Structure 1
Amino acid sequence: MGDYSKALEFYDKALKIDEKTLPPNHPSWAISYNNIGLVYDNMGDYSKALEFHDKALKIDEKTLPPNHPDLATSYGNIGGVYDNMGDYSKALDFYDKTLKIQEKTLPPNHPDLATSYGNIGLVYDNMGDYSKALEFHDKALKIREKTLPPNHPSLATSYSNIGLVYDNMGDYSKALEFHDKTLKIFEKTLPPNHPSLATSYNNIGLLHDTMGDYPKALSFLEKTLAIRQKSLPPTHPLIQRAIDNIDYVKKKM
């Protein structure tokens, strides 16, 4: 939690300097607003996150040409918050705006394109359109396999996303195969309390639960909770979700 409050303090200072020294629609203000929005998003305070990302977007739309990369970033940030809030049609609208700019301005194998394809794939997965989800995740994976070393965390993200789709489709052995690939990369490349590791353990835990292997499920879900308690503020919704998942599995044992 200390890290988030420190980050907010730091970005707030930057914003105060901007407010004293720069005209109201200066791009620097937008950067500060976006940074503050991202911190609130990570804290799970989505209405605050939207408030700051909206302020950034208003400045960007007034001051930048329509295909500017900073506009793409602003649209993507807002899409991410709506995605976290479960408002998938809005998330898709904003991710599409990001993608349109990127497809016009970036080379076809640019990593930012892979990120956008992955984000859109996640939204389709959440909406239950699994063939669309796989199509976009596959585009992201192809770019990443061409451009990144084999243990790069972004490759792990692609494997994880594809694993989630197979899980939702009921193809659990395929899902486990992709989640295992993800975990191998994360365990090699990330610090032990990294939130992405928690997500990976969570995905595998839930999969074992679905497959009826409750002791394995419990072991992975407890790892998830331990990391989240160390790395997130105590009121973060993901901590309660991890506790609920553990209780749910224990009741079945």
Structure 2
Amino acid sequence: MGDYEGALSKHKNLAIDCQYMARIIHQWQPSTTTLGSSWARSVTMKALWQSTRKLLPFDCQHWAKNHPSVATTYNNIALVLNESGDYEGALAKYEEALAIQLSALGKNHPDLAATYNNIGCVLQKMGDYEGALTNHMEALGSRLSVMGKNHPDTAQSYHNIGCVLYSMGDHSGALLKFEECLAIWEPVLGADHPNTKTCMESFELVKTGIASCGA
């Protein structure tokens, strides 16, 4: 079997690197435009890309091709491609991750819900709102089944569905989903949490738009 413990340790360290870089990436807002912060984001992206490139060959060598760890690495690669603006490339990797997770974990696993969510977000960026809605609904169904109706991740799905419905012109449907999201995030996360504030802004924007149309 070789140095299994050493190999496993290497895999875990690389996986931690990827997860750490992924968290750092999400701290950079899309509106950031200064040269310094753009450079820092670029450096972070390159570091995550290097980590995932090291991790995938390791996964393929030491795990079966349908092992959940391989799916995690595909997800990390998709994250880099998504953040780099290569939405088609990201979608392809997310779909590879999804196929593995469906086979290895079953359709109600939390990891599967996260991948459906990620696919939905990429499809929305690509303008495929029907596809985005389908995947966000899959994520919602899984999260309701596994995490329950009051979990913050369930609220995230409601918010994402609301955003897609708004993009599709269904403002009343979007408003309803933002209300469902707020009903979870506000008591669980608090009124001052960034997620709650974002959803409240979305809710008020849509509500004002509906009122204007009805005036």
Tell me which interval the TM-score lies in, with the shorter structure as reference length: 0.7 to 0.9
Identity, % of aligned positions: 34
Aligned match of 1:33: 17
Letter in 1 for 2:74: Y
What is aligned with 2:58? 63
Aligned residue runs from structure 1 range 179-190, under 5 A: 179-190=178-189
The residue identity in structure 1 corresponding to 2:45 is: L
Distance 2:53 2:84 in 1: 21
Report the alpha carbon displacement of residue 192 of structure 1 after superposing the two structures with TM.
4.2
Larger deviation, residues 36-45 vs 163-172? 36-45
Residue pairs, 1:110-121, within 5 angstroms: 110-121=109-120
How far off its partner does 1:113 sit? 0.9
1:142-182: CA deviation from partner (whole Å, max 9, x where unpaired) = 22222222211111111111111110011101100001100
Normalised by the length of structure 1, the TM-score is: 0.67
CA drift at 1:75: 2.2
The separation in 2 between residues aligned to 1:144 and 1:171, in whole angstroms, is: 23
The Cα shift of 1:116 comes to 0.9
Separation of aligned partners in 2, 1:107 and 1:141: 15
Name the stretch that deviates more: 146-155 or 174-183.
146-155
Question: Could you say if the C-alpha distance between residues 167 and 86 of structure 1 is closer, same or farther in structure 2, counting changes exceeding 3 Å?
Answer: farther
**8 Å contact from structure 1 (residues 60, 70) kept in 2:** no
**1:52 matched to 2:39:** no
User: Kindly tell me: are residues 129 and 155 of structure 1, through their superposed partners in 2, closer, same or farther at Cα, counting changes over 3 Å?
Assistant: same
- Distance change >3 Å, CA 108–CA 28, structure 1 → 2: closer
* Segments of 4+ moved more than 4 angstroms: none
1:49–1:81 CA contact under 8 A, matched in 2: no
Q: Which residue of 1 aligns with 2:91?
A: 92
The answer (yes or no) to whether the contact 1:109–1:143 under 8 Å persists in 2 is yes
Residues 4-153 of structure 1: pairs in structure 2 closer than 5 A: 26-44=10-28, 46-64=41-59, 65=63, 66-153=65-152
Distance 1:203 1:76, change over 3 A: farther
Distance of 1:111 and 1:124 partners within structure 2: 20
Q: Tell me if the contact between 1:117 and 1:140 (Cα under 8 Å) persists in the aligned partners.
A: yes
TM-aligned CA deviation for residue 58 of structure 1: 2.5
Over aligned residue pairs, what C-alpha RMSD do you find? Answer: 2.4
Distance 2:41 2:85 in 1: 11
The one-letter code matched in structure 1 to 2:87 is Y
Structure 1 residues 49 and 181, CA gap change in structure 2 (3 angstroms): same
Unaligned ranges ≥5, structure 1? 1-21, 214-253
How far residue 140 of structure 1 moved from its aligned partner, in angstroms, is 1.4
Query: Residue 149 of structure 1: SS of its match in structure 2?
Result: coil
Find the aligned partners of 1:103 and 1:48 in 2 and give their Cα distance.
33
Counterpart-to-counterpart distance in 1, 2:209 and 2:124: 18
Residues 52, 76 of structure 2: 8 Å contact kept:
no
Flag structure 2 segments of 5+ consecutive residues without an equivalent. Answer: 1-5, 29-39
Q: Is the 8 A contact 1:39 1:49 kept in 2?
A: no
Count residues with an aligned counterpart.
191
Asked whether the equivalents of residues 56 and 73 of structure 2 are also in contact (C-alpha less than 8 Å), the reply is no
Cα deviations by residue, 1:187-230 (Å, 9 ceiling, x for unpaired): 011144433223312322442454466xxxxxxxxxxxxxxxxx
TM-score normalised to the size of structure 2? 0.77
Code of the aligned partner of 2:48: H
